[in-house]
Amino acid sequence: MLGGVRTVTCHGRTLMPIPPDLRKYSQARRRPANQKLLEMTHLTLLGIETSCDETAAAVVKRRGPGDGAILANIVRSQLEEHRDYGGVVPEIAARAHVDCLDHIIAAALDEAGIKFHDLDGVAVTAGPGLIGGLMVGLISAKAISSVHKKPLIAVNHLEGHALTVGLTEGLEPPYLLLLITGGHTQLLIIHAAGDYERLGTTVDDAIGEAFDKTAKLLGLGYPGGPEVELKARDGNPDRFKFPRPMIGREKPDFSFSGLKTALRQAAQRIEPLSESDIADLCASFEAAVIATVGDRLDKAIAQYTSNNSFQESRHLVIAGGVAANKALREAFEVTAEKAGFQLHIPPPALCTDNAAMIAWAGSERLARGWTDPLDVPARARWPLERLTPSSTKDNHQAKDIGQ
Ligand code: KG4
Ligand code: ZN
């Protein structure tokens, strides 16, 4: 027992339950007057997340719009399995999900103090992500749905990140979203659950990928984001003048591959690298990322506020694993304040991959009556655009439309 909370182990490692301060989120509700009242029924959902290198299960109760509570949230990271390779190996990831998922689901139900029959639905990440891992989660969810006669909800992983602030702060759309993960870098208008408009995206690497590649190049650990952030704290951000890609362009797109190349060339020029060289490279890299993303944010904010109907909803949400970065959080607090926007970022443990966000997004869909058939496929690629039922069919057929 840890602090009265039962812990479970898998492969000899302890699975940490969510810390007590992240357990309950039932904040003040904010609902635009014109938004139709959603069904107020309490819904308890199991969420399953296996799209990359975290095996996760959670139980979330939705008590109404913008009113949710996390009853259990268990994440097992596969860091140990992938560390030697400096990145995620898809086949190893899928096998590790197979080994651990059942234990983790059982532990989540146990921690929430419920059984399968108490659930109102099973939400599972169906894409985008590594296809092997997605299939493991989806097959388990289908089995639970079929055996226990519970609705199945196939959730887009990005939708999970996008709607997390509804669970953590009771914030409801519309809002502007900066989505920054290991595979995606996008600016979106979240009009409503299921209704998303993309303003910009990356033309090459994703932001998290840029952090991970930088870390690998400098011989730091995996995943790279937290390592680069740690080193950057002691570094000089002005020592290296790295490019600020895309700055000034009207469309809020991103590009990070030039920055990565500039960093590699700078590192090669001063080899062998001392500890302070590494710190300066990381700090200069982070400064370039902040400058370029800040500029793209300004453009997206201008676009968002040009629509009169959003004047009352000046909310900027930042979500995804990279939003755990403290320097970025602080920099964009200033960006938001200057534009008269309120900034919302989930706590770090709910920025990185977890199943609570999947359960919550699933509950938003279930509350609207949007469920999925047992033959719903796993999708390695699945753009976050309109995900309302009328377009779900198209999405099922659209296999490779890019990110
Ligand atoms: O959202 P996420 O957990 O998984 C995906 O959906 O991709 O994001 C993972 C990414 C990784 O690239 C990781 O290096 C990055 O988020 N990340 C960070 C930090 N923590 C995680 N990047 C920068 N600073 C951090 N503190
Ligand atoms: Zn993610």
- Indicate whether 3 belongs to any domain: no
| Residue 354 in this model has a pLDDT that exceeds 70 | yes
* Exposed / middle / buried, residue 154 (Cβ in 10 Å: 0-12, 13-18, 19+): buried
Total domains, the chain:
2
Domain boundary among the residues 311, 326, 349 is at 349
pLDDT of residue 386: 63
Residues 19 and 138 in one domain: yes
| Residue 388 in this model has a pLDDT that exceeds 90 | no
Ligand 1 first shell, C-beta below 6 A: 52, 181-183, 208, 211-212, 223-226, 229, 320-322, 324-325, 352-353
- Indicate whether 334 belongs to any domain: yes
Q: Which of 35-44, 138-147, 199-208 has the lowest mean pLDDT?
A: 35-44
Q: How many angstroms separate the Cα of 336 from the Cα of each of 301, 333, 369, 390?
A: 9, 5, 35, 34
The rounded distance, in Å, linking the Cα atoms of 186 and 225 is: 18
- Indicate whether 45 belongs to any domain: yes
Above pLDDT 70, what percent of the chain? 86
Omega cis (within 30) before 223: yes
Residue 323 Cα to ligand 1 middle (Å): 7
| Residue 62 in this model has a pLDDT that exceeds 60 | yes
Beta strands 67-77 and 121-127, pairing class: unpaired
- Whole domain around residue 118: which residue ranges? 8-171+353-397
**Cβ-based neighbours of 325, under 8 Å, separated by 6 or more:** 225, 229, 286
pLDDT of residue 59: 98
Residues 359 and 240 in one domain: no
| CA terminus-to-terminus distance, the chain | 42
CATH of the domain at 274: 3.30.420.40
- Indicate whether 2 belongs to any domain: no
Q: Which of 88, 164, 178, 181 is the best mutation target for the ligand 1 pocket, counting ligand atoms within 8 Å of the beta carbon and taking the most? A: 181
pLDDT of residue 82: 87
Read off the pTM: 0.87
Q: Which of 23-32, 78-87, 103-112, 275-284 has the lowest mean pLDDT?
A: 23-32
Cα pseudo-dihedral 360, 366, 370, 375, rounded to 10: 80
pLDDT of residue 10: 53
Confidence of residue 221 (pLDDT cuts 50, 70, 90): confident
Ligand of minimum distance to the alpha carbon of 75? 1
Q: What is the pLDDT of residues 14-45, one digit of tens each?
A: 454 444 444 433 333 334 333 344 456 899 99
Q: Give me the sign of the Cα torsion angle 181, 30, 389, 310.
A: negative
- Indicate whether 403 belongs to any domain: no
Q: Check if the beta carbon of residue 213 is closer than 8 Å to that of residue 205.
A: yes
Q: Which atom in ligand 1 lies closest to the alpha carbon of residue 320? A: 1
CB-based burial, 174-209: b 16+ in 10 Å, e otherwise: bbbbbbbbbbbbbbbbbeebbebebbbbbebbbbbb
Q: What's the whole-number mean pLDDT along residues 266-287?
A: 98
* Exposed / middle / buried, residue 14 (Cβ in 10 Å: 0-12, 13-18, 19+): exposed
| Residue 49 in this model has a pLDDT that exceeds 60 | yes
* Exposed / middle / buried, residue 4 (Cβ in 10 Å: 0-12, 13-18, 19+): exposed
Q: Which atom in ligand 1 lies closest to the alpha carbon of residue 157? A: 6
pLDDT of residue 40: 61
Instruction: Scan for tokens 């492969």, then name that residue.
Output: 11
If residue 240 lies in a helix (H) or strand (E), which one and from where to where?
none
| CB neighbourhood size of 399 (10 A) | 11
pLDDT of residue 39: 55
| Residue 254 in this model has a pLDDT that exceeds 50 | yes
